Amino acid sequence: MITLKEALQLSKDELNKFTNNLKTKIDENKELNAYIDVKYVGEGIPIAIKDNIQVKDWSVTSASKILQGYIAPYNATVINKLLDAGLSPFGRTNMDEFAMGSTTETSYYGKTLNPINPEHVPGGSSGGSAAAVGAGLAIAALGSDTGGSIRQPAAYCGIVGMKPTYGRVSRYGLGAYASSLDQIGPMTQNVEDAAILYDIISGSDEKDSTNAMMDDKVVPNLNAARKLTIAVLPQYIENASDAIKEAYAKAIQALKSQGHTIVEKEMMDAKYDISAYYITATAEATTNLGRYDGVRYGNKVEGKNLEETYFKTRSEGFGDEVKRRILLGNFVLSSGYYEAYYVKAQKTRHIIKDEYAKIFQDVDLILSPVAPTVAPKFGELSSPMQMYLSDIYTISVNLAGLPALSLPIMKNSDGIPVGLQFIAKAYDEQTLFDGSLSLENAVAYKA
């Protein structure tokens, strides 16, 4: 598969030939279920789009039954930015329903397979985007990251996934899960491509009230030779699998070989991150999903009266995981529990943000695992709690609004990719990409 950087150099005829070949390759690999639908807007470089990002005149469903039949009336801001740069939306990729999941098994369209080994999950919720890039069925893709939903599937599928600082990429046109956590980001074959795609989709947007209104670019100043001070977290990774620990040690040695300074730091037990995240995310999801009632959007199941119509529509339209999170969100926001749960979660969120700020007083980047294990096999995560715990290393980044990038480091003894992530201070994407490019060069991962 050609890289995004290479695709930008293709002539119109070469691009048309490539796109036709790509469509054929996707048809030949339908069993992966990476794409829900293949469509092509314009004549630009084809970019796969997660099924919760609005593309005008496309069906956009967030992989849910309740949104079957909904057609987007406008483009998300990131789609307009792609088109302005000569890139084009190319197909909707599968995902966990309303981005709620870590394996892409909650999708109304069925599960996506990991292209490295189909017995393993591709991760989630952006599993379709990760699988498409990992299988060579996309040059690059857009995903969304609420608690690791770009970085974790990227790590599982052996590709690069980047979550921008909150506010650096417009959320206008993104199907909302948790509004204070969601960010759109690039999923690519390498770090440089991620930087190129990030520069294209980031920037100011008056349609998004949470936008940072910043337009600086990272690609012109990419510098893998910069010498950085990088924090490692020995205590933080104690509960990770042996493969993760091995990759962590390999990455540390690779960074030292590049001349970076390594310092040890500590962070509080990640169990507090899990609690704060799931209380915050489900509370916001409950509010955001209240609009899906069968009256304004998508499917409608008629009842004897309005209340019964709401009940039937939402009961039949939402999957089990979405219902579970709506129930939890309503619980933590209900009278008598709001102070005990939601308010405490926000206080914990503030502590997490302060903890990161303290570490970044001394370092440029933090090296962290993405997940406690490599991609599990289908069926290994037998309970919702096990699925939630697979996000233990990614969710604090969203709670703090920081940028992070996942990249593959090695493969385990079974040939399954092992990824790690760099975390940077807010709005310091330049350092994030510089350090990531240096590590990528040093480990020389082979797909």
Residues with active-site annotation: 50, 125, 149
CA distance 255 to 48: 32
Do residues 373 and 215 touch, judged by C-beta distance below 8 A?
no
**What type of residue is 153?**
P
Say how many C-beta atoms besides its own lie within 10 A of residue 178's C-beta.
24
What is the distance, to the nearest Å, from the Cα of residue 249 to the centroid of all Cα atoms in its chain?
25
Query: Sheet of 87-93: strands edge to edge?
Result: 35-40, 87-93, 45-50, 141-145, 183-188, 160-163, 404-411, 417-424, 365-369, 229-232, 261-264
**Can you list the pairs that 104-108 forms with residues at least 24 positions away whose Cβ atoms lie under 8 Å?**
104/128, 104/131, 104/153, 105/378, 106/63, 106/319, 106/320, 106/321, 106/322, 107/63, 108/61, 108/63, 108/64, 108/65, 108/68, 108/319
Q: What are the C-alpha distances in Å from 371 to residues 2, 147, 415?
A: 28, 12, 17
CA distance 139 to 13: 17
Do residues 277 and 284 touch, judged by C-beta distance below 8 A?
no
CA torsion 302-304-307-309 (nearest 10°) is -10
Paired strand residues for 93: 35, 50
